[in-house]
Amino acid sequence: MRDTTLQVRGANGYDPVTGAISFPIYQSATFRHQALHQSTGYDYSRVKNPTREELENSVAALERGSRCWAFSSGMAGIGALLKLFRTGDHILLSEDLYGGTVRICNAIYSKFGISFEYVDTSDIEVVKASITSNTKAIFVETPSNPMMLVSDIAAISELAHVHQALLIVDNTFLSPHFQKPLTLGADIVIHSGTKYLCGHNDVVAGLVIVKEIPRVIEELDLIYKSEGSILGPFDSWLMLRSIKTLALRVEKQEKNALQIASWLKTLPTVTDVYYVGLKDHPSYELTLKQTTGFGGMISFKVKSAKIAAEALGKLKLVYFAESLGGVETLLTYPIEQTHAEAPKELLARVGVDDRLLRLSVGIEDVEDLKEDIEQALAE
C-alpha cells in the first residue's frame, strides 16, 4: 500500500468489530475479562488501548518500523529513549538541536552519569572523530532546528553500527511522508506528533518507532507501561483523523515554503535564508537523495535584532507563536522561545542569534502570507 493510501486508511482501515470507518474512541480505562486467564487482549489502557494501538500501528507502517509507542508528548518519548542508556554511556547529538532536547539531556539525564556531546552531525568526518569506545548512540535531528542543517542518515548509520551504537533520528520536521530514516539505516525514529502528524495545533503527542530490535522493544515496553506517559484515547483518535490529510497538508506547505523561501531572499531587510529546498543550500543534493520533499520549515536572519523583535508585534495574519507543522503559519523567535535554555556557547556555535526567525509555513494563500511578512519586516 502506498503512503497516501496508508495515511487515509490506517493500519486496520476501519473498526473490525462494528465496521466504523472512523476508528472508535475507546474511552475506557479498563476492560472486562470473561474469566480467569481469558482476555480480549486489552486489560488496562496504560498498557494497551485499541484507539492508541491503531495509531501506533499506523505510524509504524508509515515509518516502515516494527513497533511504535504513542506518548503524551515528544519530550516524554525522548525521556523514554534516554532510559535505554546507563551510567558511563556516551551519546553524540546534533549540535543544532531543539532546545528542549538539550535541556532534558543536560539538566536531567546527565545527573545519571550519561555523557552528552554536541557535534556537527552534518559533517561525517566530525562524527567519525567524535565516537569513543563508550559511544552507545548518535542522536540526529535532520533537518536541524532551527538552522536547517542536513545529516547523511545512511552514512551515519553505517558508522554507528560499526561501533555497535544506535542511530536515533528526530524526523519531526519532514514527517514520514517526506523522509523515512529507518529505511536509510536508522534504528529509532522520534516525532513530536504535535507538529506535522497532528497538523492542527490541537494535540500534544510524541511517537517513537523502532526497527525489529528485540532488546530495545522489550525495554521500551517496560518503560512505557511502568511510567505511563501514554497518549489518551481521544488524542489518539484526533491524531488518526489528522494523519488522513497528512499528504495534502505537507505538500501544500512545501509548495508555499518554496515560494516564500525564494521570495525572502529579495527583501532588503533579510540577510540569510535557510531552507533545504533552495538549490544553494549546502546539502541540497543530499536532501534529494534521502528525502522525497523539502518540508515547510524556513529560518532566516534579518539585518538587526530590532527588526526581528518589532516584526513579531506587527504580524496580522501570521501568528507569533511557538510550535510548528500546523495548517496555520507561525513565526517563532528561537533565541527567546524554543532555544531559550540552550547553552549560549552552543547557540553561538551554530549561529542562533537575536536576528534569527523561524517560519513554519501553513496552507494559507501564499500571496496573503507574503504581504503580511513583508509589512512586518519593513523598516
Q: Report if residue 278 sits inside a domain.
A: yes
Q: Report if residue 70 sits inside a domain.
A: yes
pLDDT of residue 115: 98
233-243 and 50-62 are packed helices; what angle lies between their axes, rounded to 10 degrees? 40
Q: Are residues 179 and 203 in the same domain?
A: yes
| Total number of domains constituting the chain | 2
Which secondary-structure segment (H or E) carries 141? strand 135-141
Measured distance CA(66)–CA(208) in Å, rounded = 11
pLDDT of residue 16: 87
Measured distance CA(10)–CA(1) in Å, rounded = 10
Q: Of 243, 264, 282, which residue is a domain's last?
A: 243
Q: Of 243, 263, 284, which residue is a domain's last?
A: 243
Q: Please report the DSSP string for 95-139 in residue order.
A: SS--HHHHHIIIIIGGGGT-EEEEE-TTSHHHHHHH--TTEEEEE
pLDDT of residue 301: 98
Q: Report if residue 10 sits inside a domain.
A: yes
214-227 and 74-82 are packed helices; what angle lies between their axes, rounded to 10 degrees? 120
CA 135-138-140 angle, to 5 degrees, is 165
CATH number at residue 54: 3.40.640.10
Q: Are residues 187 and 318 in the same domain?
A: no
Nearest CA-CA partner of 369 in 255, 256, 262: 256
Q: What is the mean pLDDT of the chain?
A: 97
Q: Report if residue 361 sits inside a domain.
A: yes
Helix (H, G, I), strand (E, B) or coil at 66: coil
Q: Are residues 206 and 254 in the same domain?
A: no
* Helix, strand, coil percent content, the chain, rounded in steps of 5: 40, 15, 45
In this structure, what C-alpha cell is assigned to residue 292? 522525497
Catalytic residues: 46, 98, 170, 195
pLDDT of residue 277: 98
Q: Are residues 251 and 238 in the same domain?
A: no
Q: Report if residue 64 sits inside a domain.
A: yes
Measured distance CA(362)–CA(232) in Å, rounded = 27
Q: Report if residue 225 sits inside a domain.
A: yes
Q: Are residues 188 and 268 in the same domain?
A: no
Q: Are residues 217 and 299 in the same domain?
A: no
Q: Are residues 199 and 70 in the same domain?
A: yes
Measured distance CA(141)–CA(69) in Å, rounded = 19
Which residues, given as ranges, of the chain have pLDDT below 70? none
Helix (H, G, I), strand (E, B) or coil at 58: helix
> 196 and 175 in contact (C-beta within 8 Å)?
yes
Q: Are residues 86 and 224 in the same domain?
A: yes
Q: Are residues 45 and 186 in the same domain?
A: yes
pLDDT of residue 67: 98
CATH number at residue 304: 3.90.1150.10
In terms of Cβ atoms closer than 10 Å to its own Cβ (0-12, 13-18, 19+), residue 9 is middle
Measured distance CA(326)–CA(346) in Å, rounded = 28
Range of the domain at 309: 247-377
pLDDT of residue 260: 98
What is the sign of the dihedral through the CA atoms of 327, 249, 200 and 69? Answer: negative
Instruction: List 91's β-bridge partners, or say none.
Output: 116, 137
For residues 53-81, b (16+ Cβ closer than 10 Å) or e, as one string?
A: bbbbebbbbbbebebbbbbbbbbbbbbbb
pLDDT digits (tens, 9 = 90+) for 201-258: 999 999 999 999 999 999 999 999 999 999 999 999 999 999 999 999 999 999 999 9
pLDDT of residue 139: 98
> 181 and 158 in contact (C-beta within 8 Å)?
no
C-alpha 96: how far from its chain's center? Answer: 14
Q: Report if residue 128 sits inside a domain.
A: no
Measured distance CA(267)–CA(246) in Å, rounded = 31
Q: Report if residue 314 sits inside a domain.
A: yes
CA 150-94-157 angle, to 5 degrees, is 70
Q: Are residues 41 and 158 in the same domain?
A: yes
Q: Are residues 171 and 220 in the same domain?
A: yes
pLDDT of residue 340: 87
Measured distance CA(33)–CA(42) in Å, rounded = 9
Helix (H, G, I), strand (E, B) or coil at 188: strand
pLDDT of residue 17: 86
End-to-end CA distance of the chain: 51
In this structure, what C-alpha cell is assigned to residue 142? 535532520
pLDDT of residue 13: 85
Q: Are residues 209 and 319 in the same domain?
A: no
Q: Of 243, 259, 281, which residue is a domain's last?
A: 243
In terms of Cβ atoms closer than 10 Å to its own Cβ (0-12, 13-18, 19+), residue 263 is middle
